[in-house]
């Protein structure tokens, strides 16, 4: 973004007797780059904060027609800490009209060494930190409470942020819902994603967003199913999900009845209160639905939900643990190193990869960051259980003749129980649909410390895949 200063640095200064102010016009409420550029120039010329008027857009230009021009960029670069930049990037998104001036004041004090960004007792720093905190909270609320509704061939959401966070949050929604066409309408600006490019549009009115459809029922069923009366803490719940967001959230209408019914349910008196979650009818419908999955926290750090894929009449399903780093970026299962081993083993077993449904027990990548690397973490039993909701539906819709479970997480995902590959792989497990065949995960094969162990596990995988091929038959 660029600043939209009415004055150019090169223009002649107005006579000192008439010009009392320096007006900075920023292009938008969230124009951090414009603020930074102007603040650098002003600080370089040691302009006192009281002489500066910060404006957004063209409003009120005539009031300050005799304003001084903005100074040119300073010859020596003003150095500020990363901590200040991060604080300023958040605080600038606050609705408080004073924020630009407060930040400039702090910048000058940091440059003059009359403040330290570490000094959290400094009233100016404290005030700016409060602004930044409120913005971060608003951004988090937007991540959590945007609810898309289906309208024609796209998904539309209405959201009313407290601060100017919409543009800053756009990347989150693009990454999270890359595969969908969507629009987020807000009073100030709207975002439109067509699957490839993000467009911005003018602010909208609530009446432009759809009011309800089948997704509402899915959300409500989902919310009711995760609502745990034994954990009910009304205060904490209201803090996390403030009332003002309720009007845009289909599940909100369930909150009061669920709270009212909580004690009775806990006592086991209303065992059948929880509605069965509505089932999507097709695998592609399920895939779309899973993009918005919040059943466990893994969605927060992953790039996207990596759903299963393959022909919908596949007779063999192969279940892995979870997408890895490459799968998370690509949005497809088994496209990284483990996928190469699996593809080779399938080839050797005479199985056409194009005829298989490939999926995972857990659909979001779980990792910890080490520097630039994202290191795989095994999912917990709770995460596998949360994701079983998707896997069960996937299996129910595909009805495979043979399901190959690669490793312990896949065994747990499919059967709901713990089991070791070594103990199970000799025996086929009867499942509700076809037979389950446990085998070694390709990553386990890659991790073996010596060649012999790796070759043995690989040969077992080929044998198990061959068995799946014959169990699945051809009729």
- Using CB under 6 A as the criterion, which residues of the chain lie in contact with ligand URA when the complex forms? 320-324, 327, 333-334, 336, 338-339, 360, 443
In the bound state with ligand URA, the residue whose beta carbon lies nearer, of 338 and 395, is 338
- Tell me how far, at minimum, the Cβ of 153 lies from ligand URA, in Å: 29
CA distance 78 to 103: 15
In the bound state with ligand URA, the residue whose beta carbon lies nearer, of 251 and 394, is 394
- Tell me how far, at minimum, the Cβ of 88 lies from ligand URA, in Å: 40
**DSSP assignments along 23-62, one per residue:** EEEESSTT-HHHHHHHHHHHHHTT--GGGEEEEETTTTGG
- Tell me how far, at minimum, the Cβ of 403 lies from ligand URA, in Å: 14
Q: Is 440 exposed, middle or buried (0-12, 13-18, 19+ CB in 10 A)?
A: buried
In the bound state with ligand URA, the residue whose beta carbon lies nearer, of 161 and 324, is 324
- Tell me how far, at minimum, the Cβ of 387 lies from ligand URA, in Å: 12
Long-range contacts of 429-435 (CB under 8 A, 24+ apart): 431/395, 431/403, 432/395, 432/396, 433/395, 433/396, 433/398, 433/399, 433/400, 433/401, 433/403, 434/399, 434/400, 434/401, 434/402, 434/403, 434/471, 434/472, 435/401, 435/402, 435/403, 435/471
CA distance 408 to 327: 20
> Contact at 8 Å (CB) between 356 and 316?
yes
In the bound state with ligand URA, the residue whose beta carbon lies nearer, of 29 and 383, is 383
Beta bridge partners of 405: 319, 438
302 phi, psi to nearest 5 deg: -75, 155
226 phi, psi to nearest 5 deg: -95, -5
CA distance 387 to 361: 7
- SS3 assignment, position 355: helix
In the bound state with ligand URA, the residue whose beta carbon lies nearer, of 49 and 336, is 336
In the bound state with ligand URA, the residue whose beta carbon lies nearer, of 333 and 400, is 333
Q: Who contacts 100 (Cβ-Cβ below 8 Å, separation ≥6)?
A: 24, 26, 35, 54, 92
In the bound state with ligand URA, the residue whose beta carbon lies nearer, of 321 and 464, is 321
Beta bridge partners of 198: 193
- Tell me how far, at minimum, the Cβ of 472 lies from ligand URA, in Å: 21
Cα-trace Rg, the chain: 28
> Contact at 8 Å (CB) between 92 and 26?
no
Give the chain's end-to-end CA distance (angstroms, integer). Answer: 61
In the bound state with ligand URA, the residue whose beta carbon lies nearer, of 156 and 460, is 460
In the bound state with ligand URA, the residue whose beta carbon lies nearer, of 23 and 443, is 443
- Tell me how far, at minimum, the Cβ of 334 lies from ligand URA, in Å: 4
- Tell me how far, at minimum, the Cβ of 126 lies from ligand URA, in Å: 47
- Tell me how far, at minimum, the Cβ of 410 lies from ligand URA, in Å: 7
- Tell me how far, at minimum, the Cβ of 449 lies from ligand URA, in Å: 20
- Tell me how far, at minimum, the Cβ of 343 lies from ligand URA, in Å: 12
Closest CA to 474 of 405, 402, 414: 402
- Tell me how far, at minimum, the Cβ of 327 lies from ligand URA, in Å: 4
> Contact at 8 Å (CB) between 421 and 456?
no
In the bound state with ligand URA, the residue whose beta carbon lies nearer, of 169 and 322, is 322
In the bound state with ligand URA, the residue whose beta carbon lies nearer, of 3 and 323, is 323
User: For ligand URA, which residue has the nearest CB?
Assistant: 320
CA distance 82 to 344: 48
């Amino acid at each position: 973004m660029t600043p939209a200063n009415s004055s150019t640095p090169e223009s002649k200064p107005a006579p000192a007797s008439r010009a009392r102010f320096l007006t900075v016009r920023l292009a938008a409420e969230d124009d951090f780059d414009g603020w930074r550029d102007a603040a650098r120039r002003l600080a370089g010329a040691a302009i006192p904060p009281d002489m500066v008027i910060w404006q957004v857009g063209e409003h009120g230009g005539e009031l300050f027609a005799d304003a001084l021009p903005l100074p040119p960029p300073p010859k020596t670069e003003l150095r500020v800490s990363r901590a200040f930049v991060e604080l300023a990037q958040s605080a600038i998104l606050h609705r408080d009209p004073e924020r630009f001036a407060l930040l400039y004041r702090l910048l000058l004090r940091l440059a003059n060494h009359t403040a330290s960004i570490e000094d959290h007792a400094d009233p100016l720093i404290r005030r700016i930190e409060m602004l930044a905190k409120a913005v971060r909270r608003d951004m988090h609320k937007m991540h959590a409470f945007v609810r898309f509704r289906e309208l024609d061939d796209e998904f539309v959401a209405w959201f009313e942020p407290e601060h100017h966070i919409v543009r800053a949050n756009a990347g989150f929604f693009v990454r999270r819902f890359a595969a969908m066409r969507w629009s987020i309408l807000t009073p100030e600006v709207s975002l439109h994603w067509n699957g490839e490019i993000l467009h911005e549009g003018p602010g909208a009115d609530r009446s432009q967003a759809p009011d309800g459809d089948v997704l509402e029922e899915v959300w409500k069923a989902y919310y009711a199913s995760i609502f745990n009366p034994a954990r009910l803490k009304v205060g904490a719940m209201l803090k996390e999900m403030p009332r003002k967001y309720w009007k845009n959230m289909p599940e909100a209408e369930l909150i009061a009845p669920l709270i009212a019914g909580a004690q009775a349910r806990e006592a086991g008196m209303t065992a059948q209160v929880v509605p069965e979650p509505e089932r999507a009818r097709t695998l592609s419908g399920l895939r779309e639905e899973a993009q918005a999955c919040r059943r466990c926290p893994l969605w927060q750090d992953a790039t996207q939900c990596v759903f299963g894929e393959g022909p919908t009449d596949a007779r063999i399903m192969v279940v892995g643990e979870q997408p890895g780093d490459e799968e998370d970026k690509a949005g497809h299962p088994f496209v990284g190193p483990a996928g190469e081993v699996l593809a080779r083993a399938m080839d050797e077993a005479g199985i056409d990869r194009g005829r298989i449904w490939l999926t995972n027990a857990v659909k979001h990548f779980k990792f910890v960051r080490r520097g630039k690397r994202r290191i795989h973490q095994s999912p917990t039993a709770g995460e596998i259980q949360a994701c079983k909701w998707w896997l069960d539906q996937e299996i129910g819709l595909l009805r495979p003749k043979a399901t190959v479970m690669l490793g312990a997480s896949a065994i747990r995902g499919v059967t709901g129980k713990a089991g070791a590959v070594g103990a199970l792989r000799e025996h086929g497990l009867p499942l509700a649909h076809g037979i389950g065949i446990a085998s070694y995960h390709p990553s386990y094969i890659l991790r073996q410390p010596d060649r012999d162990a790796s070759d043995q596990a690989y040969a077992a995988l080929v044998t198990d895949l061959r068995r799946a091929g014959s169990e699945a038959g051809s009729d």
